[in-house]
A = this chain, B = another copy of it.
């Protein structure tokens, strides 16, 4: 069986990544591409690297007929997404890649995003899209809210430890280094090659990054009490990849064992041998996440390093993995490509 797919926001990086992945999927076919700002253009004009694919011309979202669409990916900007989804058919299966439906508490949403939610009713339907931890809910969901790419990384690195009670919950530091495509295709001075290349910096220091809303929600729910981590993102001169370094207080061997147990059957989560550390170059362009655990020279302190590709496992790959579950397709379909190195 072949499922008919629509992608809204097809002219951004996560949209392009979805097209790349679905082009190699055995049972999905793209029937509609929406991109208001580039409506009327062909995919070859917007993304010349996809010119070999037979794809529909980009449309205004309002022009799309969703009658025969089995599943719709929304790769739209935050806030736009909730407005668009509110107008889509209520029966349509949706995987949203924006931040709009990640936070279950409307007050938390307002705290981190600054505005009242425009589709709070629909939010109640949304299942949080961290596949490995919400698999059953995702299978039967109509609307899945893809996680933040940083939020996914941090959760893969910390959920088992929190769930197993292995670390001091009041002293978790997550120092994260992300590549530039995570900022999207927006025209900002600090994203220009001449500004970014050959330099790097921290940003949103001190606990102001929006993905903290997800950490707070998920870690607190898991621990059964409020958990607040420290989180500092850094912008690195590379295009794809997130690497996070977590500093926790807990036993390194127990922590490593906890990962091995939790992820032993996971097709995309690779736990490295004890003491080894991963690099972003080993997951680029793939849906894999590598995690390494090391003991610090100070007893009782453990360092965890995790990597994933922000555009694949961090957003579009995750989205496709969730869509596979929602449509009853093999979870790994279209996602087993090896990383690109060098």
Which residues on A are within 8 Å of B, measured CB to CB?
Answer: 13, 16, 19-20, 23-24, 47-53, 171, 173, 175, 177, 180-181, 183, 185, 187-189, 191-203, 205-208, 212, 228, 230, 232, 234, 236-241, 243, 245, 247, 270, 275, 277-286, 288, 290, 292, 294-298, 301, 303, 305, 307, 311, 336-342
Kindly list chain B residues whose C-beta atoms are within 8 Å of the C-beta of A205: 277, 292, 294, 303, 305
A158 to chain B, nearest CB (A): 16
Nearest neighbor of A309 in chain B, beta-carbon distance: B340
Partner of A175, one of B175, B228, B286, B336: B175
A168 to chain B, nearest CB (A): 11
CA distance A155 to B236 in the complex (A): 23
Kindly list chain B residues whose C-beta atoms are within 8 Å of the C-beta of A48: 278-279, 282, 290
A18 to chain B, nearest CB (A): 11
Partner of A49, one of B236, B247, B281: B281
A69 to chain B, nearest CB (A): 22
Copies in the complex: 4
Kindly list chain B residues whose C-beta atoms are within 8 Å of the C-beta of A200: 177, 236, 238, 241, 243, 279-281
Excluding A177-B236, A197-B198, 11 further A-B contacts by CB distance (< 8 Å) are A49-B283, A49-B284, A180-B193, A187-B189, A193-B237, A194-B342, A198-B241, A199-B238, A202-B243, A239-B342, A340-B340
A213 to chain B, nearest CB (A): 12
CA distance A52 to B201 in the complex (A): 19
Quick one: which of A234, A290, A301 has the most chain B CB within 10 A?
Answer: A234
Kindly list chain B residues whose C-beta atoms are within 8 Å of the C-beta of A305: 201-202, 205
Nearest neighbor of A194 in chain B, beta-carbon distance: B342
A-B pairs, 9 with minimum CB distance: A199-B281, A207-B297, A201-B279, A194-B342, A49-B282, A187-B187, A49-B339, A193-B196, A175-B175
Are A270 and B301 in contact (CB-based, < 8 A)? no
A41 to chain B, nearest CB (A): 13
Question: 14 pairs across A/B with beta carbons < 8 Å?
Answer: A20-B338, A20-B340, A23-B336, A51-B270, A187-B188, A191-B193, A199-B238, A199-B280, A199-B284, A200-B279, A200-B281, A205-B294, A230-B301, A240-B342
CA distance A228 to B301 in the complex (A): 12
Kindly list chain B residues whose C-beta atoms are within 8 Å of the C-beta of A49: 281-284, 286, 338-339, 341
Kindly list chain B residues whose C-beta atoms are within 8 Å of the C-beta of A199: 238, 241, 279-282, 284
Are A198 and B201 in contact (CB-based, < 8 A)? no
Kindly list chain B residues whose C-beta atoms are within 8 Å of the C-beta of A337: 23-24, 337
